[in-house]
Structure 1
Amino acid sequence: MKRAVIVRAKRTPVGKKNGMLHRLELQELAAPVLSHLAVGLGENIDDVILGNVTGPGGNIGRLSALEAGLPLSIPGLMLDRQCSAGLEAIRLACYFIQGGAGSCYIAGGVESSSTSHFEKRARFSPDSIGDPDMLEAAEMVAKKYGISKELQDEYAFLSYERSWEAFERGLFVEEIVPVEQWNNDEEFFKKRNMEALLRRAKPISENGTVTAANSCGINDGAAAVVVMEEETARSSGFMPVLRFVDSQVAGVHPFYPGAAPIPAIQTLLKRNGLTVEDIDLFEINEAFASKMVACSQELSIPYEKLNLGGGALTVGHPYGASGAILVTRLFYEVQRRHGVKYVLAAIGSGGGIGVAVLFETVQENGL
């Protein structure tokens, strides 16, 4: 079987809804990332696969590739698995390579909540089951797993501190392709008193635990990676960093989307004869602190392995791009560390869907 490897990864700065990137449509957000990743690849790119959730419809993959000035021969594809879309795009590209359908893909996602034409989200579940708002679903996860507001606030504060530390150390610089004059995430324009915000924030429901402060924002941004067949990458002078091992998608009750990564990760690890102890780094999308605490507790993932540079609770959650941001973060983090063998990216999404992707590091990178 052919092996898929990731050789490049980039993202835009993440902007707040109606914030610094508010004028840019989807293809304008994605184009700088695609242009950067495509340098030296030209018509060797078999396809561009982009995830998107709230955009205007149409083939955003094709539109963005054209906006980026990529060769007309690259067809482009848009897919939607809600918040898992960016990670699903990378997963799909890896399987295309394993199956011999191609040898080079750009895969990721893009979201512009600011320019979305839709006032309300799509339906995730029929009325016969129930279709809760995502904040309500986060509260349901908290109640199901007995997660207090204090535990959620503790995690949200940890994420905030980690994000700011990573920013101040300049760790995000190599991830980011500037967009217009912007080269930093909007959240880092001004530091907040997060302890006070968490303390003052009121739960969204009576006797609840989920607040605006321990939940992610709504954001704009794009991210993508170059996935290549390993021998093709080496013969073309590209250095593989992450090698695709396996992946898993799982479904849970639509009331508990934040818990969906749990069975996906469990099945993926079991099938590959691995345990949580074998995974050196986890990146799980921080849509809500209740989700993160649930995943950590149920899977016994120590915080010392989880989202070491913070995540969406601070930087933000551009839905279709977030899964690709997770992989981009891992791509650079493993290059800063020694002794890392396995890493895992996972995300839960509306409707109760979890996606988990397992990678191994490529040892000749000095890891």
Structure 2
Amino acid sequence: MSKAVIVKAKRTPIGKKNGQFQKLMPEKLAAPILQTLGEGMEEINDVILGNVVGPGGNMARLSVLEAGLPLSVPGLTIDRQCSAGLEAIRLACNLIQGGAGTCFLAGGVESTSTSLQQTRPRFSPDTLGDPDMGVAAENVAEKYGVTREKQDAYAIKSYLLTQEAHEQGLFSEEILPIQSIDIDEELVKKRPIERLAKRAKPVFKENGTVTAVNSCGIHDGAAAVLVMEEKQAIAEGLQPVLRFVDSEVAGIHPHFPGAAPIPAIRQLLERNGLTVNDIDLFEINEAFASKIVACAEELSIPYEKLNVRGGALTIGHPYSASGAVLVTRLFYEVQRRKGAKYAVAAIGSGGGIGVAVLFEIV
């Protein structure tokens, strides 16, 4: 079987909705990433991009053309809600291992600022109930006993880790500047996070636990990786960093989407004869702190291995781009660590779907 490896990865800075990228259509965000990752490649079999909030059509093909890639590169757009970017990478890896190509660009892009969608799509039919994601985060907190104190403590930890990484310049490797902007908008100004967490009021439920501090905002951004067949990558002088091992998709009740990474990660590790102890780094999307605490506690993941440079609670969550942001973060972080062997990226999404991908560190 052919082996799929990731040899390049980039993301844009992440902007707030109606913020620093408010006038950029999604293809304008994705195109510079595709152009950079595809530079010098003799043949690209396809570009697979996740996109959730539109404006519709084949965003991947539009972005390919905007990027000036060869007209022979087709483009496929997928929607698995917030899991779409990670699913795009998973699909590219499986296509390579199945012999359907040797070179793919895969990731996701989102422009909430320019989206024409006034309301979100349905995640679930009325027969089951269709809670908004904030209410679903409250459901997860209640089901798994995640207190407001635990959520706030995690959110503060994530913020401090992100701010520290930013101040050390660690994000400069993963970020491709867009229109001379090279910083995540949320990091432009430091916030008194402990004080804000203490004062924040529940947003989604009276007497609830989920606040604006322990949940993410709404954002714009893009991220993608260059996935290649390993022998082909080496023949072209490229260094594999992450080798795709296996992946898992799990469905759970749509009232608890934040918990969907739990069965996905559990089944993935069991099938490969691994435990949490064998994994050196986990990246799980921080849409809500309740979700991360629940996943960590249910799977017994120590925080020292989890989102070690912070995550979406601080830099933001551009929906379908977020899964690709997780893999981009792993791509650079594993290169800073000697002796690391395995890494996992995972994300949950509307409708109760969890996606998890296992990588071997080359």
TM-score, reference length from structure 2: 0.99
Are residues 1:267 and 2:267 paired? Answer: yes
Aligned counterpart, 1:365: none
Shift of 1:181: 1.9
Structure 2 Cα separation of the partners of residues 85 and 62 of structure 1: 16
Aligned counterpart, 2:181: 182
- Describe the superposition over 1:176-228 as per-residue Cα deviations: whole angstroms up to 9, x where unpaired: 11100211110111000011111011112122111111000100000000000
Aligned counterpart, 1:134: 133
Aligned counterpart, 2:39: 39
Aligned counterpart, 1:58: 57
Coordinate RMSD, CA, aligned? 0.5
Which letter does structure 2 place at the counterpart of 1:8?
K
Matched residue SS, 1:40? coil
Aligned counterpart, 1:357: 357
Matches within 5 A, 1:102-251: 102-204=101-203, 205-251=205-251
Shift of 1:324: 0.2
Shift of 1:16: 0.3
- Describe the superposition over 1:288-331 as per-residue Cα deviations: whole angstroms up to 9, x where unpaired: 00000000000000000000000000000000100000000000
Matched residue SS, 2:170? coil
Are residues 1:49 and 2:32 paired? Answer: no
Structure 1 Cα separation of the partners of residues 54 and 285 of structure 2: 20
Structure 1 Cα separation of the partners of residues 277 and 180 of structure 2: 42
Matched residue SS, 1:172? helix
Runs of 4+ that moved beyond 4 A? none
Aligned counterpart, 1:337: 337
Which letter does structure 2 place at the counterpart of 1:179?
I
Matched residue SS, 1:347? strand
Are residues 1:276 and 2:299 paired? Answer: no
Matches within 5 A, 1:13-92: 13-42=13-42, 44-92=43-91
Which letter does structure 2 place at the counterpart of 1:164?
Q
Shift of 1:4: 0.1
Which letter does structure 2 place at the counterpart of 1:66?
L
Which letter does structure 2 place at the counterpart of 1:10?
K
Which letter does structure 1 place at the counterpart of 2:354?
G
- Describe the superposition over 1:227-286 as per-residue Cα deviations: whole angstroms up to 9, x where unpaired: 000000011111100000000000000000000000000000000000000000000000
Matched residue SS, 2:64? helix
Which letter does structure 2 place at the counterpart of 1:335?
Q
Which letter does structure 1 place at the counterpart of 2:141?
A
Structure 2 Cα separation of the partners of residues 357 and 181 of structure 1: 33
Aligned counterpart, 1:289: 289
Structure 1 Cα separation of the partners of residues 55 and 32 of structure 2: 20
Matched residue SS, 2:173? helix
Structure 1 Cα separation of the partners of residues 68 and 321 of structure 2: 21
Contiguous gaps of at least 5 residues in structure 2: none
Matched residue SS, 1:356? strand
Aligned counterpart, 2:96: 97
Structure 1 Cα separation of the partners of residues 200 and 146 of structure 2: 17
Structure 1 Cα separation of the partners of residues 212 and 188 of structure 2: 19
Which letter does structure 2 place at the counterpart of 1:313?
L
Which letter does structure 1 place at the counterpart of 2:317?
H
- Describe the superposition over 1:54-108 as per-residue Cα deviations: whole angstroms up to 9, x where unpaired: 0111000100000000000000000000000000000000000000000000000
Aligned counterpart, 1:10: 10
Aligned counterpart, 1:298: 298
- Describe the superposition over 1:120-159 as per-residue Cα deviations: whole angstroms up to 9, x where unpaired: 1110000000000100000000000011000000000000
Structure 2 Cα separation of the partners of residues 35 and 177 of structure 1: 11
Structure 2 Cα separation of the partners of residues 168 and 48 of structure 1: 33
Structure 2 Cα separation of the partners of residues 126 and 188 of structure 1: 38
Shift of 1:354: 0.1
Structure 2 Cα separation of the partners of residues 334 and 212 of structure 1: 31
- Describe the superposition over 1:152-182 as per-residue Cα deviations: whole angstroms up to 9, x where unpaired: 0000000000000000000000001110021
Matched residue SS, 2:131? coil
TM-score, reference length from structure 1: 0.98
Matched residue SS, 1:7? strand
